[in-house]
Amino acid sequence: MGLVLEKLPGLAEGVPGGGVFLTTADALIDWTRKCSVWPLTFGLACCAIEMMASYASRFDFDRFGVIPRPSPRHADVMIIAGTVVKKMAEPIIQIYHQMPEPRFVISMGSCANCGGPYWDSYSVVKGVDKIIPVDVYIAGCPPRPESLMYAVTKLQEKILKMKLSATHGAAPQQDKGSREIAAA
């Protein structure tokens, strides 16, 4: 209890007599969500190597509660680490819809943001945000593990601002991306 009060300063109030505390459902749920952002083990290209490095010895993402999961059904966040090719676009949409809500997307690296070095290629989707909504973008080719770490903290800030009442329990996500692939 002491830990909870410490972690939620100003939000929880101790009730005299002990054993009970009051807070808003939003604050509690957002806090728990924020502390276990589980990404999907899913790498597309070069950025995936930096993502692997983030999970490994030096950067140790487990510290943030970021533990990769092999199934989209268990995952909260999809890190699009690499170039999205037109052949891959359809599977990405399928995987995205298999994730339970609320679900989040981090677009890692220039390719996922806008096509990067392949901005004029015939087979590359120029930005993953053309097919699914994106929460956080990271610049870099590839971004360093520190950048990914920063992106996760940004996502956590975003999660802390979520409200149940605004969305009837679901996350403020659209079902489809704002733009079509064909618009490339």
Partner 1 sequence: MTADELFAATTAEFPKLEKAAAEVKGYLTLRLPAAGDLLPVVTWLKGRGFRYLDMVTATDYKGPVEAKGFVSDPNPNGFLPAGARPEIEVSAAVAGFPYRDAFEAVYCLSHLEEKIKIFLKLELPREGAKVPSLAGLFEAADWQEREVYDLLGIVFEGHPNLTKILTPDFIQGHPLRKDYEHPSTHGVLRLGLTIKGEVITKAVPDIGYLHRGTEKLAEARGYHQCVVLSDRWDYCAAMPNNLVFCLAAEKLMNVQVPERADYLRTIMCELNRIASHLIFFGTYGIDIGAFTPFLYAFREREMILDLFEMVCGARLTYNYIRLGGVMIDVPPEWVAKTREFLDFFKPRIDEYDTLLSFNPIFMDRTKTVGLISAPEAVAWGLSGPNLRGSGVAYDARKFEPYAAYAKVAFEVPVGETGSCWDRYFCRVLEMRQSVRIVEQCLEQMKEGDIMAKGVAKIPKPPAGDAYAHVEGARGDIGIYLVSDGGPSPFRLHMRAPSFMNLAILQQSLVGKKVADVVAVLGSIDIVLGEVDR
Q: Identify the burial level of 20 via C-beta atoms within 10 angstroms of its C-beta, where 0-12 means exposed, 13-18 middle and 19 or more buried.
A: exposed
Would you count residue 53 as binding partner 1 (CB under 8 A)? yes
Minimal distance, residue 139 CB to partner 1, in Å: 14
Minimal distance, residue 100 CB to partner 1, in Å: 22
Would you count residue 39 as binding partner 1 (CB under 8 A)? no
| Strand, coil or helix: 137 | strand
Strand spans (E) along the chain = 13-14, 21-22, 77-81, 104-108, 136-138
Contact string 87-116 vs partner 1 (x = CB under 8 A): xx--x----------------------xx-
Binding segment (CB under 8 A) for partner 1, from list 97-105, 119-127, 148-156, 168-176: 119-127
Would you count residue 63 as binding partner 1 (CB under 8 A)? no
Choose between 39 and 82: whose C-beta lies nearer to partner 1. Answer: 82
Q: Does residue 133 contact residue 178 with C-beta atoms inside 8 Å? A: yes
Say how many C-beta atoms besides its own lie within 10 A of residue 87's C-beta: 9
Would you count residue 137 as binding partner 1 (CB under 8 A)? no
Q: Does residue 83 contact residue 112 with C-beta atoms inside 8 Å? A: yes
Q: Does residue 81 contact residue 118 with C-beta atoms inside 8 Å? A: no
| Contact pick of 34, 37, 40, 43 for partner 1 (by CB under 8 A) | 43
> Which is it for strands 13-14 and 21-22: parallel, antiparallel or unpaired?
antiparallel
Binding segment (CB under 8 A) for partner 1, from list 8-16, 49-57, 70-78, 150-158: 49-57
Q: What residues make contact with partner 1 under the rule CB under 8 A?
A: 43-46, 48-50, 52-53, 56-58, 81-83, 85-88, 91, 114-115, 117-124, 126, 141-142, 144, 181-184
